[in-house]
A and B are shown apart, each in its own frame.
Chain A
Amino acid sequence: MKKTAIDQLHELAAHLMEKGTLIAPIKEDAGFNFREISDAKNVDLTFHNTIISPKSAFFPQMEDFVRYQTGKNVPEAMPVELNLQPTFLFGVRPCDVKSFQIMDIHFSGTGAADPYWRKRREATTILGYAFDLDAPVQAEEFYRTLGIGAADPEGSDIFMIRKGEDLLLKSITPRGEKLLAQMSPLTEASADEEKYFEDYIIRGRDFKTRFTCVDDKTVAKKLENIFHNSDFWTKVSSACLSCGVCTFVCPNCYCFDICDETLFGRGTRRRVWDACMFTDFTLEASGHNPRTQVFQRLRQKVNHKYSYHVRKYGVISCVGCGRCTRHCPVNIDIYSIVEAALKV
């Protein structure tokens, strides 16, 4: 195990930037977000969590597939090659790390593999970062409900915990071990610090974010059973504006559109994030639209995460990060919806 002083963080960041691309939290006007770092001094670990989830490191909001020229033949269109440097995703909270594992099942674990997700995942080393257990619990969060501790290292290559003015780093995977051994700005941690690290992980499992006893199969079945209870779904969605912000900040929402954008005869085919909350999400060219009503779309979103995903992939597609609740302009809270559904 290694350590560094928090005020020397920029040295660690600079070291990683020499090795490749560093993506880390920085402070912006609206709050914190993960960005590709150009100045090592900008890396800022004083955040609680970012506005947008770090999924964009593997599933960017826009991913270019092909560049084409209108009027030219299809064979002349050029696929956009991904030339990825080794990438370091730094400071990811445990619930968000868990979201990558859930997304892996969808994008590369079953059916056709998504080459973009897979390549970005393969190029990236994840440095997870425990929540601050001495900070107050955030009202929106409920990762404990989903069985995720505030300091769970699983899924990270290297896991980091803050201790006073120091940052402790421990390798979790062989990939992390290799990187940690090469990280020159670090010093060896003491045996006491190792013990602190291990104790912290255990303490993290008891960090009291909102908790409801949710067995994934039970909740999936329950949601199936109340699918046609439109009174319930109308009530919980009555305030919804269909703005889609919940899906954009979500670490587990993966729906995308494929669009052609042409300007002056040149164009790009790309995928962009889409949202099941939008009216035109399911609008067909014939004019038929199976989900015209707000309650149908919110029902789709909740069912997708807590029922369909369980049936299809055996896991709930939510990590309780609380972003959707935090950023919803009308205070719709998926935790409360699931809790209410279980009581119907």
Chain B
Amino acid sequence: MSNINPYIPMPVEISRVIDEVDTHDIKTFRFTFLNKEDEANFKYLPGQFAELSIYGKGESPIGIASSPTEPGYVEFTVQRAGTIVPGLVTAALHDMNEGGKIGLRGPLGHSWPIEFLEKKNIVVVGGGFAFTTLRSLINYMLHKDNRKRFDEITVIYGARTPGLLLYKDELAEWEKRDDIKTVITVDKGDETWKGRQGFVPAVCKEVAPSPYNTVAVICGPPVMIKFTLPVFFELGFYKENILTSLEMRMKCGIGKCGRCNVGYKYVCSDGPVFSLAELDELPREF
């Protein structure tokens, strides 16, 4: 690897685009590598991310949404970003179709700590769009070669509306399986919604996973995190057993450009995955 320049992206081609939500601003892009050796070098685990690179626009760090158990491609779920300033890369990507070619740098950052999760019960809590690397983790754990490495798996996933739920087909598949407990909720249903209604923190309280030999993996918007963490503390979870993934503006993705620090940690190279105990050691800057 040492001869590979980490700043130069690998060429990939869009082989599939899925329009995920009814607001049409979140799409999942499947990429295949144009060079076989790049594919061989792109060894990743759930929780890692990569820089999507479009010359003339720039680069965006995006979590990997596919699981390494699905060889031959890599998927990213990307929101068209920008409220004040448009996100150049995500806008350009959203305007591309199958066959479009972009660059990819990665895999970057640390994954969910798979060895730490082994032989434990896993509670995955996701909110809205922040479900992408959790999906990677779930699919990884559910793979037939891996399922027995983990004990009970519970997924609590919420979105504001039914139309904003990601990966709807997969959610339906998981609900059918008996080796994973899937709890899907929306803040507000519509006339066709027959499932659960309620905010993620309240649903977590209701599901009340036991803290015994259990790790909670939580990703979501700040407001969800803010109200979900007290629920898990109340249930008796230690901070070492609550994991999350951070986001920050990034450029290099390899801990060199100095941009994404929280205290002495770089989110890109020291994270993006942190336990709550680790985050407690950092200054509460944000």
Residues on A lying within 8 angstroms of B by beta carbon are: 65-66, 68, 70, 73-75, 77, 79, 106-107, 110-115, 224, 227-228, 254-260, 262, 267, 269, 271, 274, 276, 281-287, 290-291, 296, 300, 303-304, 307-309, 311-312
Contacts and interface: CB of A to CB of B under 8 A. Distances in A.
B285 interface: yes
Nearest to A82: B5
A255 B58 contact: no
22 contacts: A74-B53, A79-B8, A107-B256, A111-B254, A112-B6, A112-B255, A114-B256, A224-B263, A227-B285, A255-B257, A256-B251, A256-B257, A267-B55, A267-B56, A274-B259, A282-B248, A284-B249, A285-B60, A286-B83, A287-B83, A304-B261, A308-B264
B82 A286 contact: yes
Q: Which 9 A-B pairs have the closest CB atoms?
A: A255-B258, A285-B87, A308-B264, A311-B264, A285-B81, A68-B55, A287-B84, A112-B254, A74-B11
A253 to B, nearest CB: 8
A65 B58 contact: no
Contact of A258 (B7, B87, B248, B269): B7
Contacts of B57: 260
Nearest to B91: A285
A296 B5 CA distance: 34
B41 interface: no
> Could you tell me the dominant secondary structure of chain A's interface residues?
mixed
Given A111-B255, A256-B251, A283-B249, A74 B84 contact: no
Interface string B139-172: 0000000000000000000000000000000000
B127 interface: no
B59 interface: yes
B23 interface: no
Contacts of B263: 224, 303, 308, 311
A125 B257 CA distance: 25
Nearest to B80: A285
B: interface residue count bin: 35 or more
B256 to A, nearest CB: 6
B101 interface: yes
A262 B88 CA distance: 14
Contacts of B249: 281-284
A254 B6 CA distance: 17
B257 A274 contact: yes
Nearest to A256: B257
A107 B8 CA distance: 17
A291 B249 CA distance: 11
Interface of B: 2, 5-9, 11-12, 34, 53, 55-60, 81-87, 90, 101-103, 247-249, 251-252, 254-259, 261, 263-265, 269, 283-286
Contacts of A290: 248, 285-286
Contact of A112 (B83, B101, B256, B285): B256
B106 to A, nearest CB: 11
B259 A255 contact: yes
Contact of A65 (B7, B84, B284): B7
> Could you tell me the dominant secondary structure of chain B's interface residues?
loop
A254 B256 contact: yes
Nearest to B88: A285
B252 A106 contact: no
Contacts of A112: 6, 254-256, 269
A285 B254 contact: no
Contacts of B90: 285
A260 B55 contact: yes
Contacts of B255: 110-112
Contacts of B85: 283, 285, 287
Given A228-B283, A267-B56, A296-B285, A75 B258 contact: no
Contact of B56 (A68, A284, A312): A68
A283 B263 CA distance: 17
B251 A74 contact: no
Contacts of B11: 73-75
Nearest to B8: A79
Contacts of A110: 255
A106 B256 contact: yes
Contacts of A262: 56
Contacts of B257: 255-258, 271, 274
B5 A260 contact: no
Contacts of B264: 307-309, 311-312
A73 B83 CA distance: 29
Given A70-B55, A274-B257, A286-B82, 5 more contacts: A111-B256, A256-B258, A258-B251, A291-B285, A304-B258
B283 A224 contact: yes
A114 B9 CA distance: 15
Contacts of B6: 112, 115
Given A255-B259, A307-B264, A227 B283 contact: yes
B69 to A, nearest CB: 26
Contacts of B5: 79, 115
Nearest to A299: B285
Nearest to B86: A285
Contacts of A308: 261, 263-264
A86 to B, nearest CB: 22
Contacts of B103: 74, 77
Nearest to A254: B258
A67 to B, nearest CB: 9
Nearest to A282: B249
Contacts of B283: 224, 227-228, 303
A70 B54 CA distance: 10
Nearest to B103: A74
B2 A75 contact: no
